[in-house]
């Protein structure tokens, strides 16, 4: 009987993925811990490197605005997007969920098997 083994990608330098550039955090010794615990923590970090930041070309994090910074939206009331007070409510800010029937109705035109139409008709009784 022949056994089939799947090849599993390792982490860090052993990874075979080339589409992402992931760095790893350097191991750090933590001083001030009880005797032996600092070295044990350091050994754990070197045995299994901690993931660093994911670097994807063309994507950057938005600049973080400090808590005490002036508002970036001076013309919006503080209750903007809330279901109370001035301004539009939550329904105008958060996209509304799409029903299963609406999704199936749109899928019918692309489904050659007829399953979408069958399900649509069963659910739309």
The larger pLDDT score, comparing residue 51 to residue 123, is at 123
Q: pLDDT-derived band of residue 5, with 50, 70 and 90 as boundaries?
A: very low
Q: Which two tokens stand for residue 101?
A: 């029937």
Q: What's the pLDDT tens digit per position in 72-112?
A: 889 988 888 888 888 888 877 777 788 889 999 999 999 88
What are the tens digits of pLDDT across the range 52-77?
A: 665 555 556 667 888 899 988 899 88
pTM to 2 decimal places: 0.29
Which two structure tokens, joined as six digits, stand for 112? 């050659």
Q: Which helix (H) or strand (E) holds 22?
A: strand 21-24
For 71, 77, 88, the CA distances from 74, given in Å and listed in that order, are 6, 8, 15
Dihedral of CA 53/57/62/63: which sign?
A: positive
- The DSSP code sequence of 37-106 is HHHHHHHHHHHSPPEEEEE-TT--PPPPPPTTSPPS-TTS-TTTTSSSSSS--HHHHSPPPPPHHHHHHH
Strand, coil or helix: what is 21? strand
Q: What is residue 118's predicted lDDT score, i.e. its pLDDT?
A: 92
């Amino acid at each position: 009987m022949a056994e089939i083994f799947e090849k599993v990608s390792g982490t860090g330098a052993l990874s075979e993925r080339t589409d992402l550039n992931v760095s790893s955090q350097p191991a750090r010794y933590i001083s001030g811990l009880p005797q032996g615990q600092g070295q044990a923590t350091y050994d754990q970090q070197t045995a299994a490197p901690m993931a660093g930041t994911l670097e994807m070309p063309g994507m950057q994090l938005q600049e973080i605005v400090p808590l005490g910074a002036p508002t970036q939206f001076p013309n919006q009331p503080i209750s903007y997007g809330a279901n109370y007070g001035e301004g539009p409510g939550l329904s105008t800010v958060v996209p509304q969920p799409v029903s299963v029937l609406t999704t199936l109705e749109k899928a019918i035109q692309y489904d050659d098997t007829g399953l979408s139409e069958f399900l649509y008709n069963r659910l739309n009784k």
